[in-house]
Structure 1
Amino acid sequence: MIYVTGDMHGEFSRFKTKDIKKIRENDTLIICGDFGFIWDGSRHEQSVLDKIGRMKFNVAFIDGCHENFELLNNYEVIDWNGGKAQHITGNLVHLMRGQIYTIEGKKILAFGGGHSQDYDYRKNQDWWIEEHPTHEEIIESINNLSIYDNDIDYIVTHEPPASLKDCLGVDVLQRLEIHAFFEDIIRACHFEKWFFGKCHVDKYIPMKFYAVFEDVLQMYEIDEP
Structure 2
Amino acid sequence: MIYVTGDIHGGCTMNNIVEWEEGKNLTHDDYLVIAGDFGIPWEFSITEDDLIYWIESRPWTTLFVDGNHERFSWWKDQPIEEWHGGTRAATFQVLPYSALDERRSV
Deviations 1:153-181 (A, max 9, x none): xxxxxxxxxxxxxxxxxxxxxxxxxxxxx
2:63 to 42, 45, 60: 60
Deviations 1:130-155 (A, max 9, x none): xxxxxxxxxxxxxxxxxxxxxxxxxx
- Give the secondary structure class of the aligned counterpart of 2:90: strand
- Give the secondary structure class of the aligned counterpart of 1:88: coil
Q: Match of 2:101? A: 95
Identical-pair percentage: 31
For the structure 1 residues 76 and 50, does the alpha-carbon distance in structure 2 shift closer, same or farther, using more than 3 Å as the test? farther
- How much has 1:64 moved relative to structure 2? 0.3
Structure 2 unaligned runs (5+)? none
Instruction: Figure out how many residues of one structure are paired with residues of the other and give that number.
Output: 100
- How much has 1:41 moved relative to structure 2? 1.4
Q: Match of 1:9? A: 9
Q: Distance in 1 between matches of 2:2 and 2:31?
A: 5
Check conservation: 1:41, 1:71, Cα contact below 8 A.
Answer: no
Check conservation: 1:8, 1:34, Cα contact below 8 A.
Answer: yes
- 1 or 2, which has the higher helix percentage? 1
Q: Does 1:23 align with 2:26?
A: yes
Check conservation: 2:88, 2:104, Cα contact below 8 A.
Answer: no
- How much has 1:98 moved relative to structure 2? 4.6
Aligned pairs for 1:101-116 (under 5 A) are 101=106
Query: What is the TM-score when the length of structure 2 is the normalising length?
Result: 0.79
Amino acid at match of 2:62: V
- How much has 1:58 moved relative to structure 2? 0.7
For the structure 1 residues 2 and 82, does the alpha-carbon distance in structure 2 shift closer, same or farther, using more than 3 Å as the test? same
- Give the secondary structure class of the aligned counterpart of 2:16: helix
2:43 to 40, 44, 47: 40
Amino acid at match of 2:101: L
Bigger relative contact order (CA 8 A; separation at least 6): 2
